[in-house]
Structure 1
């Protein structure tokens, strides 16, 4: 219980973060609660593995398409108001899934999914850019761990309960709960105060959206210490996205357990993403090591999935999925915290928008490749899992060989410059 005390204290004392956090809990639960219902509609009205994969691809490509503009909006306009509008919009969109009543309406699933993710594309950079504005430097890591832990628990329970609810009550009831959850979450954001001060110079630079977006990209590439953590999520998901998608097929074709098996596998994934960041804070709190550790998480996740792709034992699969996603969860929180700390507020929305662009594009390409492989029987399911897992292992090795080494050189240079700065200050004081 003592280990939870810092997190409980943060929620008790920081009212603004607590309100944003409660909003996240409600909207995330509605989000994951409805995922299996969408999958069920696709499988109900078609028997195509490709179409099932495409709904995931549409999610991430729609998110990617709007991410650059979303980051601009998060820097230009009131972030609290953006989050309010986006959650209300997502609620209305999800309720519209009720209009899909026969195979001829399947196109509406993809259109609504794209709209839902369009709102999410604006919401996420606004939320992540806001966290440093409502927490102190000491609270920031704990705040991100709470957010990730909550996401993981909700992901686990939401997917599991959603799978059961879809089987017992049907997709309509699930979509109603999902939509109302989004709308309910707006109440907590409405009650939150989120400071967002922008100088006249910043506002002037953001008058032109294209110029503002390009300035954001230029800033990222001009600052490699920001670029490195911004690459982490996109790199790992380029391979992990396909592997997570293939867990759906593992449950259907190998375990023969349908939505129940999928709920169990995704629950293991959720528990892993929750535990990983806590272990990092407990045992590797030195942030100078985090970029290197990101490569280790890629290597370990890929290694575990290599084994998953070779077995058919449910309890062992669940255990290995848990361990693999301990790494992905740690990767997520470490990269998020480093970006929040290293990014100035004037650029933070565009930086997170760019990160989400890379992440969602990687995810979309990853799932597209895997779904095409499955649709045209280019590889068996287990062979495809082995290919993507091996790719993730290779990505981890390359990260450790190049990205991590550049980070260590930057750390040494930054440390030397800090020492020289202190020496110059000491000399100046002595001369006075």
Structure 2
């Protein structure tokens, strides 16, 4: 298996280790913050404001994170963000009463701000530390780590806070960022400029000199149908996905009367699905266009089927199936972006993707909470699942068609020895 061989690569292992520990710390922090807010305020209003503040920074600072990733050393950007988050995470220790709730808002905003600056570098550094042929397996492994963090974090986060308290969770979160930064310092990354020029097709190397604006980048994306279709796919999913996030607690509490245990079961199923999806994505690495074209439609169909679930266990099974497909789809879409977007623009493309996805997800959750106040949960689940399925089929077909065109062009180029550009450059 390629995955086992990749795990033996020190650089990739360090990157994934850093992602794992900082992700676990985030989950512990989330549980502790939400518990603390209910303890000191006694209302859900503070929780709603805090959740909203986890979306806003992506809109403001996500594009800046893309610029930093493309203009500066990505490893350095990640380490600086980790150190800043380690300090900010400790500020939650200063909260003791309702009058201190502003600290929660400010610290939450700052943590997400530095995460917005961090993520484009994290995503775009991957092609620098693995070969082009290893990208699919590396992205699949990254999805597996993401699922593991979700499953482990959701299952033990509450237990950790219950046993040792909010303060220990905040300290652990700070330590997780320090540990992540230390691991990243040990990364050995090729010189960014030399690596980009070496990876670029001959026709692209001259065009690659100098930075471009987001406006120019958007024009380039519009002229590259495969990249446009991928970004539209990742932007459409959150519109329905936000409803499914809200439905987790609604299904657990209102539909199946399972309470906190039910929420834990559904989150655990989601995490397990991402783990399985990441593991089996490797076996489909030779068909990334086909998997990308179908996976999100399957995910939407699984979501739709939750509206007919007779028990919470069946609902958990459908949620797991949805994220198996979603994990495979995410791995394939990221791999395709890394192959079709020039390395010098990768940070900004991922920043656009993350920014729109997070903002749309936040707005969708807000709308979902409002609609579920008066609508039947199963009807909302059916409608959201149908939306994801239909839009994914339409955009998936566009990705598949462009993929077949690209494959034919590549075969023709290999036969004639002529290099043709197929990037957003």
Preserved contact between residue 7 and residue 146 of structure 1 (Cα < 8 Å): yes
Aligned-pair CA distance for 1:295: 4.0
Q: Name the counterpart of 2:34.
A: 39
Using the TM superposition, name which of 153-162 and 295-304 deviates more: 295-304
Provide, for residues 327-365 of structure 1, a one-character-per-residue CA deviation record: whole Å limited to 9, x for no partner.
222222121111112111110000100100111111111
Picking from 390, 394, 403, the partner of 1:411 is 403
Preserved contact between residue 274 and residue 327 of structure 2 (Cα < 8 Å): yes
Please report the TM-score for the alignment, with normalisation by the length of structure 2.
Answer: 0.87
Secondary structure of the residue that 2:38 maps to in structure 1?
Answer: helix
Aligned-pair CA distance for 1:416: 4.4
Aligned-pair CA distance for 1:48: 4.7
Secondary structure of the residue that 1:170 maps to in structure 2?
Answer: helix
Provide, for residues 206-265 of structure 1, a one-character-per-residue CA deviation record: whole Å limited to 9, x for no partner.
3xxxx6232332222221211222233322222112322332344445555554433222
Please report the TM-score for the alignment, with normalisation by the length of structure 1.
Answer: 0.86
Preserved contact between residue 236 and residue 298 of structure 1 (Cα < 8 Å): no
Picking from 333, 342, 346, the partner of 1:335 is 333
Q: Name the counterpart of 2:213.
A: 212
**Cα gap change, 1:42/1:255 in structure 2, threshold over 3 Å: closer, same or farther?**
farther
Preserved contact between residue 70 and residue 125 of structure 1 (Cα < 8 Å): yes
Secondary structure of the residue that 1:264 maps to in structure 2?
Answer: helix
Aligned-pair CA distance for 1:52: 3.1
CA distance in 1, matches of 2:135, 2:391: 30
In structure 2, runs of 5+ residues without a counterpart are: 198-204, 419-425
Q: Name the counterpart of 2:140.
A: 145
Aligned-pair CA distance for 1:46: 4.4
Picking from 312, 315, 319, the partner of 2:313 is 315
Q: Name the counterpart of 1:345.
A: 343
Matched, 1:192 2:187: yes
Aligned-pair CA distance for 1:121: 0.8
Preserved contact between residue 93 and residue 115 of structure 1 (Cα < 8 Å): yes
Picking from 7, 11, 18, the partner of 2:7 is 11
Secondary structure of the residue that 2:89 maps to in structure 1?
Answer: helix
In structure 1, runs of 5+ residues without a counterpart are: 427-432
**Cα gap change, 1:35/1:297 in structure 2, threshold over 3 Å: closer, same or farther?**
farther
Q: How many residues align?
A: 408
CA distance in 2, matches of 1:316, 1:228: 33
Aligned-pair CA distance for 1:371: 2.7
Matched, 1:274 2:275: yes
Aligned-pair CA distance for 1:110: 2.3
Provide, for residues 304-339 of structure 1, a one-character-per-residue CA deviation record: whole Å limited to 9, x for no partner.
33235xx5x332232222122222222221211111
Q: Name the counterpart of 1:243.
A: 244
Preserved contact between residue 58 and residue 364 of structure 1 (Cα < 8 Å): no
Secondary structure of the residue that 2:79 maps to in structure 1?
Answer: helix
CA distance in 1, matches of 2:377, 2:300: 18
Q: Name the counterpart of 1:395.
A: 388
Matched, 1:65 2:60: yes
Matched, 1:52 2:47: yes
CA distance in 1, matches of 2:286, 2:274: 17
Preserved contact between residue 303 and residue 390 of structure 1 (Cα < 8 Å): yes
Preserved contact between residue 86 and residue 178 of structure 2 (Cα < 8 Å): yes
